[in-house]
Amino acid sequence: MLVRVRRGALDPGIPGQFFMLRPRGLLLPRPMSLCLAPPGELAFLVDPIGPGTRALAELQAGEEIDVLGPLGNGFCLDVERPLLVGGGIGVAPFPYLSERLGGPPALLGFRTARHAEAAALVPNSEVVLEPTYVTEALPPGRAVLACGPEPMLGAVRRLAPDAQLAWEAPMACGYGACYGCAVEIDGCLARLCVEGPVLRGHARGQAPAVAGRVAAA
Amino acid sequence: MILNASGCLDALTAPELTRALDAFVTKTVTPLPREGNPPVRIAETEVGMLNSIGLANPGIDRFLDDALPRLLAVGPPVWVSVGGFAAEEYADLCARLDGTEAAVLELNLSCPNVAAPEDEATAIVTAARAATHKPLYAKLAPGLPDLPAVAEAAAAAGADGLSLVNTIRGLALDPATLQPRLGTAPGGLSGPALRPVALAAVHAAYRATGLPIVGMGGVETGAHALELIAAGASAVALGTVLFADPAAPARVREELRAEAARRGFERPLAARGVAHGSVASTADAEARDAGRVGLKL
């Protein structure tokens, strides 16, 4: 589901960058990539699968949460013939990314038709359902920008070595303090929040991360 | 004085947050580089956070050449946390840091595979003391069978202060699969669950040693900080709270000042040790213990 908050002093940043969101009562915030940036608002695609995402999904209008962002490195938008490739909840940053790239084609994979409802947010998208995988439908000659589960990103990288890949990992802080989000990058463990979450893209926004409290819209 | 707990902040990725602290404590530096533990490294529970980072650090060579100059340039005094697996390793690390601008060396004595903590603390602090003139703080784990004895051993061996406490071991299981959520199975538990544990450790170590103590464990507010000071802390460090609230240092400092003033203390440290009631100093404690001996006779 789409969770919307008032934008306040926060900059939406570059697609692929993320925000740390903490509803009241949670010890730690949760990293969420920006899904849409409607005027005056920020919107996040949330799959309520655990205590943190459920608390976000249950926010009432006017209820305040702590927000920090935008954080990390987003997608590099200076690309020719882009193709968005996503799987599952990994399509979260694509609506905003698609908007900023002028609506390029998107290839989205889901487990079931019900999970594929999120595809409606991504213009110009083609959906494949399991047992078909996005890699089976990947056309050649495209600059791939991908986000999804780790096996999908690995498979995409084998077919498109230059693809920009947005990874995810559990994070406690989002700004390099906790060392919790270490992933293997080029053979070494590195902090995804500092080196990523988009690898091979590395476009850091000009806007500094701002900590604030905003109300759900 | 408000610091960060070792391993809970990187001054290079958060310089502004760091400048809100009175001193910055580094992640533990070891003799050789360590990549740290495999993911998954963190998990939230109802009462705190588990981590299993595994002392990821660049090793002392790269730390001295690359990291330390940049950390010093951020501004606040830098306390360097050091860790090893033998007393000689601590001594080597301290000797190499002796000529640097590091303000304090914190000895991470919280290694869990230590058979006789008192003897080990004596050996490590003695070796480190001989290797450096810098102030030495011994950081202890809260799960020690006799924490005051280890604190006393560290003090007798030349520690200038204590850092209390490190995390306590915990385990979280995935409710769906009943498998450990962290890559290493158990991890270090921090956050609210650690607060009473830290209070007890600070309380006991203050009674036993009277040394300066950096109290830490689950501090989220100025009231929590004041409790640690009342138990005997002379400074307070923030850990897990920094992950959720990067503005915590200035907020906690202001809340602490207000909370102390509200209770009639002219400054927060005037409350140091008040949790000990009539036994507010080690001299008093000694007098009381002497009295007990008399009663037994």
Tell me the nearest-neighbour CA distance from A169 into chain B, angstroms: 8
Cβ atoms of B85 and B111 closer than 8 Å: yes
Q: Is the pLDDT of residue B290 over 70?
A: no
Residue B291: its pLDDT value, please? Answer: 47
Q: Report the domain count for chain A.
A: 2
Tell me the nearest-neighbour CA distance from B258 into chain A, angstroms: 23
The dihedral over CA atoms of A194, A200, A205, A209, expressed in degrees to the nearest 10, equals -20
pLDDT tens, residue by residue, B71-109? 999 999 999 999 998 999 999 999 999 999 999 999 999
The predicted complex's ipTM stands at 0.91
Contact B56 A169 (CB under 8 A): no
Residue B1: its pLDDT value, please? Answer: 95
- Structural domain containing residue A68: 2-72+204-215
Q: In what order do the strands lie in the sheet with B42-44?
A: B42-44, B49-51, B187-190, B168-170
Residue A6, Cβ density class (10 Å: 0-12 exposed, 13-18 middle, ≥19 buried): middle
What average pLDDT score do residues B47-55 get?
A: 94
Please state the CATH superfamily assignment of the domain spanning residues B2-38+53-173+195-296 in this structure: Aldolase class I (3.20.20.70)
Using a CB-CB distance cutoff of 8 angstroms, which residues of chain B are in contact with residue A173? 242-244, 246
Q: Which of A21, A22, A28 to mutate to test the interface with B (most CBs of B within 10 A)?
A: A28
Contact B246 A176 (CB under 8 A): no
Catalytic (active site) residue B94: no
Q: Is the pLDDT of residue B289 over 70?
A: no
How far apart are the C-alpha atoms of A9 and A13, rounded to whole Å?
12
Nearest to B243 among A173, A182, A183 (CB): A173
Tell me the nearest-neighbour CA distance from A29 into chain B, angstroms: 6
Tell whether A16 and A117 lie within a shared domain. no
* In-domain check, residue A61: yes
Cβ atoms of B1 and B236 closer than 8 Å: yes
Taking all residues of chain A, what is their mean pLDDT, rounded to a whole number? 92
A76 close contact with B: CB closer than 8 A: no
Q: What per-residue string of b and e applies to B140-156 under the rule 16 or more CB within 10 Å gives b?
A: bbbbbeebbebbbbbbe
Tell whether A147 and A109 lie within a shared domain. yes
Question: Of B8, B64, B18, nearest to B243 (Cα)?
Answer: B8
Using a CB-CB distance cutoff of 8 angstroms, which residues of chain A are in contact with residue B247? 211
Nearest to A180 among B41, B191, B242 (CB): B41
pLDDT tens, residue by residue, A201-217? 555 556 678 888 889 98
Nearest to A22 among B13, B27, B244 (CB): B244
| Pairing state between β B187-190 and B49-51 | antiparallel
Instruction: Please report which confidence band the pLDDT of residue B115 belongs to, taking 50, 70 and 90 as the band edges.
Output: very low
Q: B212 CB contacts (<8 Å, ≥6 apart)?
A: B137, B160, B161, B162, B234, B235
Question: Of B83, B44, B82, B81, nearest to B190 (Cα)?
Answer: B44
Using a CB-CB distance cutoff of 8 angstroms, which residues of chain B are in contact with residue A179? 7, 10, 27, 36, 41, 53, 56
| DSSP secondary structure of chain B | -EEEPTTS--TTT-HHHHHTSSBEEPPPB-SS-B--PPSP-EEE-SS-EEE-----B-HHHHIIIIIHHHHHHHSS-EEEEE--SSHHHHHHHHHHHHTSS-SEEEEE---S--S-HHHHHHHHHHHHHHH--S-EEEEE-TT-TTHHHHHHHHHHTT-SEEEE---EEE--B-TTT-SBSSTTS-EEEESGGGHHHHHHHHHHHHHHH---EEE-SS--SHHHHHHHHHHT-SEEEE-THHHH-TTHHHHHHHHHHHHHHHTT-SSGGGGTTGGGTT--SHHHHHHHHHHHHHHH-
Tell whether A16 and A100 lie within a shared domain. no
Tell whether A179 and A210 lie within a shared domain. no
Tell whether A64 and A105 lie within a shared domain. no
Enter the tokens of residue A145.
Answer: 């920008």
pLDDT tens, residue by residue, A96-138? 999 999 999 999 999 999 889 899 999 999 999 999 899 988 9
A180 close contact with B: CB closer than 8 A: yes
Contact A172 B9 (CB under 8 A): no
Contact B247 A211 (CB under 8 A): yes
Tell me the nearest-neighbour CA distance from B42 into chain A, angstroms: 5
Residue B224: its pLDDT value, please? Answer: 98
* Percent of chain B scoring above 70 in pLDDT: 91
> Any idea what the CATH number is for the domain that residue A29 is in?
2.40.30.10
Tell whether A98 and A157 lie within a shared domain. yes
Computed on alpha carbons and rounded to an integer, the radius of gyration of chain A in Å comes to 16
Tell whether A6 and A91 lie within a shared domain. no
Contact B243 A176 (CB under 8 A): no
Tell whether A191 and A208 lie within a shared domain. no
- Tokens 């802390």 sit on residue: B233
| Pairing state between β B24-25 and A125-129 | unpaired
Q: Which of B14, B74, B111, B223 is catalytic?
A: B111
Residue A114: its pLDDT value, please? Answer: 87
Question: Of A196, A168, A170, nearest to B52 (Cα)?
Answer: A170
A47 close contact with B: CB closer than 8 A: no
For A19, nearest residue in chain B (alpha carbons): B244
Instruction: Please report which confidence band the pLDDT of residue B294 belongs to, taking 50, 70 and 90 as the band edges.
Output: very low
* In-domain check, residue A176: yes
Q: Is the pLDDT of residue B286 over 70?
A: no
Chain-centre distance of CA B117, in angstroms? 17
Tell me the nearest-neighbour CA distance from A121 into chain B, angstroms: 30
Q: Is the pLDDT of residue B32 over 60?
A: yes
* Percent of chain B scoring above 90 in pLDDT: 85
Phi, psi of A77, deg, nearest 5:
-95, -5
pLDDT tens, residue by residue, B147-199? 999 999 999 999 999 999 999 999 999 999 999 999 999 999 999 999 999 99
Contact B49 A172 (CB under 8 A): yes
How far apart are the C-alpha atoms of A69 and A87, rounded to whole Å?
24
Residues in chain B: 297
Contact A170 B42 (CB under 8 A): yes
Q: B243 CB contacts (<8 Å, ≥6 apart)?
A: A28, A29, A172, A173, A177, A178, B8, B49
A9 close contact with B: CB closer than 8 A: no
* Percent of chain A scoring above 70 in pLDDT: 97
- Tokens 């830098």 sit on residue: B78
Angle between helices B222-231 and B195-209 (to 10 degrees): 30
Residue A81: its pLDDT value, please? Answer: 97
Q: A102 CB contacts (<8 Å, ≥6 apart)?
A: none
What residues form DSSP beta bridges with A164? Answer: A145
Cβ atoms of A192 and A186 closer than 8 Å: no
For B56, nearest residue in chain A (alpha carbons): A179
What average pLDDT score do residues A89-99 get?
A: 96
Q: Report the SS3 class of residue A203.
A: strand
B189 close contact with A: CB closer than 8 A: no
Contact B12 A176 (CB under 8 A): yes
Tell whether A112 and A185 lie within a shared domain. yes
* In-domain check, residue A43: yes
Contact A28 B40 (CB under 8 A): no
Residue B113: its pLDDT value, please? Answer: 46
Nearest to B49 among A27, A169, A177 (CB): A27
Q: Is the pLDDT of residue B18 over 50?
A: yes
Cβ atoms of B247 and B217 closer than 8 Å: no
Residue A208: its pLDDT value, please? Answer: 72
pLDDT tens, residue by residue, B218-264? 999 999 999 999 999 999 999 999 999 999 999 999 999 999 999 99
Tell whether A121 and A208 lie within a shared domain. no
Using a CB-CB distance cutoff of 8 angstroms, which residues of chain B are in contact with residue A185? none
Q: In the A/B pair of chains, how many CB contacts fall below 8 A?
A: 86
> Any idea what the CATH number is for the domain that residue A119 is in?
3.40.50.80
Tell whether A47 and A110 lie within a shared domain. no
Q: Is the pLDDT of residue A185 over 80?
A: no
Q: Is the pLDDT of residue B293 over 50?
A: no
Residue B76, Cβ density class (10 Å: 0-12 exposed, 13-18 middle, ≥19 buried): buried
* In-domain check, residue A77: no
Q: B111 CB contacts (<8 Å, ≥6 apart)?
A: B83, B85
Tell whether A174 and A113 lie within a shared domain. yes
* In-domain check, residue A126: yes
pTM of the model: 0.91
Q: Where are the domains of chain B?
A: 2-38+53-173+195-296
Residue A54: its pLDDT value, please? Answer: 95
Residue B111: its pLDDT value, please? Answer: 58
Q: Is the pLDDT of residue B114 over 60?
A: no
How far apart are the C-alpha atoms of A216 and A21, rounded to whole Å?
11
